């Protein structure tokens, strides 16, 4: 775990964020630990939280859907069919 003094953290937040990508960063104030900065992935891992539906929907990766399966159970179109 990296240690950064509060003064150094305030001077260069970007550096602390870069360090936190690899491992949690312990921020100290007058030599005493006061805060921990970590990536959101590490936080979720430790807290047991998964990604929210909003984050999943906002993901830039394409998701392949099988329209034949969805159409068979009416998931795509909830209107009554005229046939």
Determine the Cα–Cα distance for residues 18 and 36; give it in Å rounded to an integer: 14
| φ, ψ for residue 29, nearest 5 deg | -130, 115
DSSP state of 27: E
Query: DSSP 3-state assignment of 18?
Result: helix
Residue, of 2 and 53, whose pLDDT is higher: 2
Residue, of 41 and 79, whose pLDDT is higher: 41
Domain ranges of the chain: 2-72
Q: Domain 2-72: give its CATH code.
A: 3.40.1620.10
pTM: 0.56
pLDDT in tens, 63-80: 566 665 555 555 555 555
CB 6 within 8 A of CB 13: no
């Amino acid at each position: 775990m990296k240690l950064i003094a509060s003064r150094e953290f305030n001077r260069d937040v970007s550096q602390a964020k870069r360090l936190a990508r690899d491992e949690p960063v312990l921020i100290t104030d007058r030599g005493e630990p006061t805060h921990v900065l970590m990536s959101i992935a590490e936080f979720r891992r430790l807290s047991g939280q998964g990604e929210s539906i909003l984050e999943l929907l906002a993901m830039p990766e394409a998701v392949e859907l099988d329209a034949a399966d969805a159409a068979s159970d009416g998931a795509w179109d909830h209107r009554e069919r005229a046939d």
